Amino acid sequence: MAEKKPSSLLRRTAFEIKKYRVMKKTIPIIITACAILLIIGYILSALYMKFGAFTVMINKSDFDYALTLSSSSDFGSRTTRLNAQIDEKITNIDGRSLPEGLDNVDGVHNGKNYIAYTFYCKNAGQNTVDYSYHLYIANMTLEIEKACRIRLYVDGEYVDYAYPRTDGVDGPEPNTTPFLSTTTVVKKTIQDFKPGDITKYTVIIWLEGNDPECVDRILGGQMKVDMEMSVEANSDRKGEPGT
């Protein structure tokens, strides 16, 4: 008569049953987590497309100072947030080919392979203030920002900004001012901004074909640029002329 092995098979079977039950509970959790991640990714992508390639906003804490934005000089429509919707894909160009008078058209006025947006900031309040504008890169992929140029007009005067050089050569990219950091393009203050005063801004964004970083590896890269206006702390001056 063959020798019995009474418990090993049963123990093995019980273990496998337990493992099956654990997996049965775990797999739906994993699938649900993956689905949630996909949904979050979709939402983020949708928000990116909704808010466009360039967004300008008033810092929420500064609403009481009544800074307001508009894409037209007559301020027929006022807001604390503007979104420039950019639908087209762009490729690199020579920045010297950009047309003249890019700050003479209000709102979105994109050209071939460049983004252009003109808007206005107004002091609609009762106090004279100092406010800062902060132009920064909110999102970027494939290091596309290294080949990017951002031209900022402020009341008709412009500066071309570029990512600091990475080719070992001292100094900025030719005819540009370096970004303040890897994500901050520029941050400056407008002083003595009286009630009724208006600052005009135009932002131009393009990929510079003459930049050494403008290479195949950045193909398909994306970049989002934002700008925020913030009243400087303790800058309101009640009772001054014009207030």
Tell me if 68 is assigned to some domain. Answer: yes
Q: Per mean pLDDT, which range of 132-141, 163-172, 215-224 is the poorest?
A: 215-224
Give the separation between CA 84 and CA 117, rounded to whole angstroms: 7
Q: Is residue 27 part of a domain?
A: yes
16 Ramachandran zone, left/alpha/beta (phi>0; psi -120 to 50): alpha
> Can you give the pLDDT at residue 76?
84
| pLDDT for the residue numbered 33 | 55
Indicate whether 237 belongs to any domain: no
Per-residue model confidence (pLDDT) at position 227 = 93
Claim: this prediction has a pTM higher than 0.75: no
**Both 132 and 28 in a single domain?**
no
71 in the same domain as 150: yes
Between 239 and 200, residue with greater pLDDT: 200
Q: Are residues 46 and 92 in the same domain?
A: no
Count of domains in the chain? 2
| Same domain (yes/no): 193, 97 | yes
Same domain, 71 and 19: no
Alpha-carbon distance of 37 to 100, in angstroms, equals: 46
Task: Show the domain range for 23.
Answer: 8-51
Q: For residue 2, is it within any domain?
A: no
Q: What is the pLDDT of residue 178?
A: 93
Is the pLDDT reported for residue 146 higher than 60?
Answer: yes
**Whether residue 28 is found in the same domain as residue 83:** no
Both 43 and 75 in one domain: the answer is no
| Same domain assignment for residues 37 and 59 | no
Say if 46 falls within a structural domain.
Answer: yes
Distances (CA, A) of 50 to 45, 53, 54, 55, 86: 9, 9, 10, 10, 10
Q: Look at residue 243 and tell me if it is in a domain.
A: no
Mean pLDDT over the full length of the chain: 76
Decide: 158 and 236 in contact? Cβ < 8 Å.
no
Model confidence pLDDT, tens digit, residues 71-99:
999 988 888 888 877 655 677 788 899 99
